[in-house]
Amino acid sequence: MNIAIVCYPTFGGSGVVATELAKGLAEQGHHLHIVSYARPARLDHVQSSIVYHEVDLSTYPLFEFPPYDLALANMLATLIEYEKLDLIHVHYAIPHATSAYLAKQILGEKAAKVPVITTLHGTDITLVGSDPSYKKVVDFSINQSDGVTAVSEYLRQETYDRFDIRNEIEVIPNFVDLERFKPGENEEFRKEFAPNGEFILSHVSNFREVKRVGNVVEVFARILEDGVAAKLLMVGDGPERIKAQQRCRDLKICEHVSFLGKQDNVEELLAISDLFYIPSGSETFGLAALEAMSCGVPVISSNVGGLPEVNLEGVTGYLSELDDIEGMTQGSLELLRDPSKMREFSTNARARAEQFEKQRIVSLYEAYYDKACAKLS
Ligand code: GMT
């Protein structure tokens, strides 16, 4: 098939899923067009079956805000017409689903057999999408899509609860490349961060408020107070990073914490980690947790959103109520103090991740595409 994947180019979330899906589909012999405003971070090497199209965003003195959604619609209409697309798969509803709808309307009959599939990821439903400034458009665009998928049961239900959706939403969970994210024994690399055999605890996110990075620092400080020798790796960057760094200074724990900024090869850092933290206030799936688990790293998470569908309480890690610093500290200490439990959870984490194996989930998308095309033919 000749497929356009529309996504944000960002390091985390939907951009990663969309790009990895494109790669997985290319491996199955499909031809892919990735459409975005910048080259996605995970589109890291050139291959003939994946073409990247950057949306042309012309500016004009009248435009305080250049209309990206129109430029995207224009590009999608052009691709349908000249690249003979079979299907458009948009990731994150706003504005991608709306632009795809518009592109089809522009071409009328010529595009009638090109299905638009919308995959809902998270804040496109739970935060931005539900904002009154966008809600009606999101509602409309989801209902106009020829197929709608959500990355977790939780998100599927939230979408029905928050919007007036008449479409059937299919859950196709996120996935992980088990070869890329795998347990490792890189002692040399480990020593760079933990020269005296300390535990390595890690967190990876875009450091937005919803990620509750401050909680990671608080839990870590208590673990140190409890006499456990450990180092904390904070990977990624975003608005809350400065506050978290300041808190480390206040707590006088800076020598034990490394803020590493945005990193391309997070798998190398995860592979040397002993525990992973994702104490988010809201998380529709928690891809970062799955990637850590795939590296055999048990997860300490909050018990919100889709996280319990990924991280299993008392099996692959522990889930605490939101902002329960004490609970997360106790969960961490239980594992850090009991090597055999830590090994057992680590094995369980990898085994759980295997259920989200990349090619298996890619096949679910292929089957879903076939169904959508058959409906329109
Ligand atoms: O909000 C973000 O963190 C980014 C967002 C996205 O759509 O780019 O991430 C969401 O999608 C990810 C991939 O499906 C999920 O793993 C994340 O849980 C989800 N984030 C939130 O719900 C906060």
Q: Based on the domain organization, do 88 and 120 belong to the same domain?
A: yes
Q: Based on the domain organization, do 169 and 203 belong to the same domain?
A: no
Q: Based on the domain organization, do 157 and 192 belong to the same domain?
A: no
Q: Based on the domain organization, do 69 and 18 belong to the same domain?
A: yes
**Predicted local distance difference test score (pLDDT) of residue 264:** 85
Q: Based on the domain organization, do 151 and 280 belong to the same domain?
A: no
**Predicted local distance difference test score (pLDDT) of residue 12:** 66
Segments forming the whole domain that contains residue 233: 187-354
What span, in angstroms and rounded, lies between the C-alpha atoms of 330 and 34? Answer: 44
Distance from the CA of 87 to the center of ligand 1, in angstroms? 24
Residue 192 resides in a domain: yes
Q: What is the pLDDT of residues 321-374, one digit of tens each?
A: 999 999 999 999 999 999 999 999 999 999 999 999 999 999 999 999 999 999
Is 173 close to ligand 1, i.e. is its CB under 6 Å away?
A: no
Cβ(148)–Cβ(170) below 8 Å: yes
Cβ(5)–Cβ(30) below 8 Å: no
> What is the token pair recorded at 220?
């870590």
Distance from the CA of 228 to the center of ligand 1, in angstroms? 32
Residue 182 resides in a domain: no
Is 283 close to ligand 1, i.e. is its CB under 6 Å away?
A: yes
Q: Based on the domain organization, do 151 and 241 belong to the same domain?
A: no
Q: What is the pLDDT of residues 48-63, one digit of tens each?
A: 999 999 998 988 889 9
Give the predicted TM-score (pTM) of the model.
Answer: 0.94
Is 282 close to ligand 1, i.e. is its CB under 6 Å away?
A: yes
The string of DSSP letters for 105-167 reads HHHGGGGTT--EEEEE-SHHHHTTTTSTTTHHHHHHHHHHSSEEEESSHHHHHHHHHHS---S
Is 298 close to ligand 1, i.e. is its CB under 6 Å away?
A: no
Burial of 130 (C-beta count, 10 Å sphere; 0-12/13-18/19+)? middle
Nearest atom in ligand 1 to 122's CA: 22
Distance from the CA of 70 to the center of ligand 1, in angstroms? 24
Q: Based on the domain organization, do 28 and 93 belong to the same domain?
A: yes
Q: Based on the domain organization, do 169 and 315 belong to the same domain?
A: no
**Predicted local distance difference test score (pLDDT) of residue 47:** 86
Q: Based on the domain organization, do 347 and 212 belong to the same domain?
A: yes
Cβ(332)–Cβ(310) below 8 Å: no
**Rounded mean pLDDT for each run of 10 residues along the chain, 377 residues in total:** 95 88 97 96 87 93 94 98 97 97 98 98 85 93 97 97 95 97 94 98 96 98 98 97 98 98 94 98 97 98 98 98 98 98 98 98 98 96
Is 174 close to ligand 1, i.e. is its CB under 6 Å away?
A: yes
SS3 of 235-261: EECCCCHHHHHHHHHHHCCHHHEEEEE
Question: How many domains does one find in the chain?
Answer: 2
Residue 180 resides in a domain: no
Cβ(136)–Cβ(113) below 8 Å: no
**Predicted local distance difference test score (pLDDT) of residue 126:** 85
Q: How far is CA 87 from CA 4, 55, 96, 235, 262, in A?
A: 6, 18, 14, 35, 33
Is 121 close to ligand 1, i.e. is its CB under 6 Å away?
A: yes
Residue 181 resides in a domain: no
What span, in angstroms and rounded, lies between the C-alpha atoms of 108 and 146? Answer: 15
Distance from the CA of 94 to the center of ligand 1, in angstroms? 13
Q: Based on the domain organization, do 154 and 195 belong to the same domain?
A: no
Q: Give me the residue label for tokens 């975005």.
A: 36
Nearest atom in ligand 1 to 307's CA: 18
CATH number at residue 166: 3.40.50.2000
**Predicted local distance difference test score (pLDDT) of residue 11:** 65
Q: Based on the domain organization, do 89 and 170 belong to the same domain?
A: yes
